[in-house]
Chain A
Amino acid sequence: MSGTDVKRSVAPGVRLGQVSFVWRPWLVSVTLLLAAATFLVFCLSIGVGDFPIGLSRVIATILGGGERVDEFVIMDLRMPRALAGLIVGVALGVSGALTQSIARNPLASPDILGVTGGAGAVAVFLVTVSGGTAAAVVSAVGLSAAALAGGLGTGLLVYFLAWRRGIDGFRLILIGISVSAVMEAITTWLLATADIKDVARAQAWLVGSLEGRSWGEVRVALWCTLVLLVVVSCVAFQFKPMHLGDEVAAGLGVRYSMVRAVLLLCAVLLAAVAVSAAGPVPFVALVAPQVAMRLARCPTPPLVASGMVGASLLIGSDLVARTALPITLPVGVVTAAIGGPFLVCLLVRANLR
């Protein structure tokens, strides 16, 4: 650094060997705080239950120094649920941040891009149509995998329908809304004509829940999410100028069509993984990037912070759903109830300034 002659307005750089990046203390602190908050909620969520375990014992057990009883309860019984919440929250948060950035529109969440609607329609179809083929499909690949395929298929359909010499944000959103509406109509029709017992099962899935996750399911979701996050972080640098629009990005040497296609595919896949793991949990993907953006004071959704907000929101909501009320609610009910007002709060505060 040349140091003194660099004015404060131009962001200072940090250099570690070959690596250098812009030093943004506020963003880094907010992200670290969000990570700490996520870890705290994660541990709390594990500790709460019929057999309560203190926070310090939970942390000790996670770090590998706990007692045997605690270890069984924590690692075998409660970890899958908490971990599912973490993965789904991060996946939805990052997916929302990507889609909102790509469309340059805060309305563009995976819910709108048809992923949720498509996954829901496929899942409800398989649950309610008790035909031989449907049952065979469910037993062969599982409901989650089938829902994932449905979400991915619908997301890709929206992408190709929206393609016209490139992707335009508004066109993407309009086609997403239309396709989602069709998927929801199919879902409603299936529910209206189905057997009442199947409807209850389907409804439970449609609200979104972390109930009864197994290590096997969680492991698949974890690996899928990790791989996708690695891809996203590799491409993210090329994505940065695209907030200024395609042509400016092209002028700055970005192959924007390729970058956007890769990232949109990652976003759809992340959302599909999340939906297949926990059902279509509403609102997290829409609200997490917007909350992260305002907390971190960034003009565009910050990826890591969005993932952290998504995870805290989802695990926190699950915690509230299990403890605050006399009946146990599915997590999806609470994410909408908490996330909605929180976003409104942030918007009102911004207006008052």
Chain B
Amino acid sequence: MSAEHITDIESAAQGDTRLAARGVTVGYGGRTVIENLDVTIPPGVITTIIGPNGCGKSTLLRTLTRLLKPAEGAVVLDGEDIAGLRTRDVAKKLGLLPQAPVAPEGLTVADLVAKGRHPHQSWLRQWSSDDAGVVERALAMTGVSDLADRPVDSLSGGQRQRVWISMTLAQGTDLLLLDEPTTYLDLAHAIDVLDLVDDLHESGRTVVMVLHDLNLATRYSDNLIVMRAGSILAQGHPRDVITAELLDEAFGLRATVIDDPVGDRPLIVPIGRTHVRPGQVPVRTSQVRLG
């Protein structure tokens, strides 16, 4: 998908794009975090929002899920302003996993995942055989069927995150927004969760997430949104976007970008003040402020 197509909001509105922000200005209290921002989420791929702390990446994700209401502009879901839709109808189209959610002590995995069916239920119809089937499939797809009877609080961090993703899956939406799904996870569990996210994408879902780890973001995304100070610095495929210049501009990070020895994406090697052998840093055209 070319960059022109992604940024072209007009064609997106009538094409298959499902989620976009148009001229949104968002803030907390009196403080504006994002000003007049346009973004279109390409369908069927994994989009990851990256950027330095406080750049507004979580704010953007929360705005896209209508957790935050923009002061100006609108978030458009399937051609309609999300602010005008019923909360329940949004929940049938768009699944959301906030950062570090906490389950009540003693709640079992099966009961937590079953909560994902809430948007499809009503006061009278609180549980149906459809619900049971969907929950079964969500548990199986995230590989937590064997844990179904265990309390969520007895699981490891990685398992717990799988369970929460399972709940979001049970919601039955093909748009998934995940706010830092790898927070508090060690690298092995982070990879495990991101592999799961990749499976979800393979099965046709559109995923938007916020990640802190740049190399994980590069490895697992088809579309990166790089933010700085409330605006979008670059957007596109990691191969096109990730350069040493961009990392310096966005994060103030000195780094060298090499080819990932195991993948087809770039790999970021950060350069700190210490532990760098003077002769060992490869000299490349994309490298800046060295020596």
Q: Which residues of A contact B (CB under 8 A)?
A: 1-2, 5-7, 9-15, 18-22, 104, 165, 234, 237, 240-241, 243-245, 247-248, 250-255, 297-300
In whole Å, how far is B177's beta carbon from the nearest beta carbon of chain A?
A: 8
Chain B residues with CB under 8 Å of A245's CB are 98, 101-102
Q: A10-B135, A251-B97 are in contact. List 7 more A-B contacts (CB 8 A).
A: A2-B129, A20-B126, A20-B128, A165-B29, A245-B101, A250-B87, A253-B86
Residues of B within 8 Å of A19, CB to CB, are 124-125
On chain B, the residues within 8 Å of A298 by CB distance are: 106
Q: Compute how far the CA of A347 lies from the CA of B139 in the bound complex, rounded to whole angstroms.
A: 32
Chain A residues contacting B126 (CB-CB under 8 Å) are: 20-22, 237
* Residue pair A299, B105 in contact (C-beta under 8 Å): yes
Q: Is B198 an interface residue (CB 8 A)?
A: no
Shortest CB distance B56–A (Å): 17
27 contacts between A and B (CB under 8 A): A2-B129, A2-B132, A6-B132, A6-B133, A9-B108, A10-B114, A13-B128, A13-B131, A15-B128, A20-B124, A165-B28, A240-B115, A244-B101, A244-B102, A244-B112, A248-B96, A250-B96, A251-B95, A251-B171, A252-B116, A253-B90, A253-B91, A253-B118, A253-B119, A299-B105, A299-B151, A300-B104
| Chain B residues within CB distance 8 Å of chain A | 28-29, 65-67, 86-92, 95-98, 101-112, 114-116, 118-119, 121-129, 131-133, 135-136, 139, 145, 148-149, 151, 168, 171
A11 CB contact (under 8 Å) in B65, B110, B123, B124: B110
Closest to B126 in A: A21
A253 vs B66: C-alpha distance when bound (angstroms): 11
Q: How far is the CA of A255 from the CA of B174 in the complex (A)?
A: 22
Interface centre among A15, A21, A22, A299 (most CB of B within 10 A): A299
- In the bound complex, CA of A13 to CA of B88 (Å): 22
Q: Taking CB as reference atom, which chain A residue is nearest B171? A: A252
Taking the nearest CB of chain B, how far is it from the CB of A146, in angstroms?
37
Q: Which residues of B contact A10 (CB under 8 A)?
A: 110, 114, 132, 135-136, 139, 148
A237 touching B115 in the complex, CB below 8 Å, given contacts A251-B97, A253-B92: no
How distant is B109 from chain A, measured CB to nearest CB, in Å?
8
**10 shortest interchain CB distances as A-B pairs:** A253-B91, A251-B96, A9-B148, A247-B98, A299-B106, A253-B88, A13-B127, A253-B119, A299-B107, A299-B104
CB neighbours (8 Å) of A255 from chain B are 87
A contact residues around B111 at 8 Å (CB): 11, 299
Give complex CA distance A30, B101 in Å.
30
| A1 contacts across to B, CB distance below 8 A | 129, 132
Closest chain-A Cβ to B137's Cβ sits at a distance in Å of 10
Q: Cβ of B105 and Cβ of A11 under 8 Å apart?
A: no
Determine whether the beta carbon of A252 is less than 8 Å from that of B115: yes
A6 contact from B92, B122, B136, B145, Cβ within 8 A? B136
Partner of B149, one of A9, A15, A250, A299: A9
Whether B127 lies near A21 (C-beta < 8 A) is yes
